[in-house]
Amino acid sequence: MPDRPIRLRATRLAKRFEARSGGVLALDGLDLEVADGEFVTVIGLSGCGKSTLFNLLAGLDQPTAGALYLDGDRCDASRLLGRVGYMPQRDLLMPWRTILDNTIIGLEVAGVGRAEARRRALELFDAFGLAGFERRRPGELSGGMRQRAALLRTFLAGREVILLDEAFGALDSLTRAGMQQWLTQVWEEHRKTILLITHDVDEALFLSDRVYVLTPRPGRVELALEVDLPRPRSYELITSEPFVRQKQLLLEHLGMEAAS
């Protein structure tokens, strides 16, 4: 772990969903932490509880057992809600709003006037690859551009800890690779504390300082891998020997073959 304050921590986290058939234990005894300015990824097979974990970290649901801490303070769902930025898989842009006005929704909700909110957003449009698209509607943009707008909206909301749930999962492979390269550049410039969910092993390694591998349900941490790859990173890194070696390790802990 880096010698930096821990922004987000989960200890012995458990979540059970009750049902007439006896219920489902989605998470059980999960430990996780993210330091200030880190990029951390959670990866695991479908159904291992990744999205459940994010709902707990965002304050959208209450754990059955265990504890959650934000900046050292123990928090229940009511205290977490609204304090952590959360970008879901879908961009959720409002089709009747321009891209500029979509990106400022969080600022408006926080009470920032529209003119000031637009000024703050426009300062980042170039860095987020959106310059020239301020007056477009979401339906006029590609999937990758909409994801950039959704991420800018999340950044502008002012939360220092951001959860990204399969941020690029709906994109084609070429667009996704470009977005990964872009995101690591944005992160290196702004150094937000980011926790990402993905099913993509290459994406997890390329973006992250640490990767948590979860077991099949109930989700526990199978492996916490410190990613010792140099930064800044370019996409040529994925063919390097250190990258391939760490990818093999992740695949083994996921119970997958190297050719997968």
Q: What is the pLDDT of residue 20?
A: 63
Cβ pair 27, 52 in contact under 8 A: yes
At residue 61, the pLDDT reads 92
Alpha helices (runs of H) in 42-161, residue ranges in sequence order: 50-57, 77-80, 99-103, 105-109, 114-125, 143-156
CATH class as words, domain 1-84+161-260: alpha beta
**Structural domain boundaries in the chain:** 1-84+161-260, 93-158
pTM: 0.89
Chunked in runs of 10, what are the mean pLDDT values of the chain (260 residues)?
84 88 87 95 89 91 94 89 84 92 90 91 90 93 89 85 84 82 87 91 94 93 94 89 94 70
* pLDDT confidence of residue 182: 86
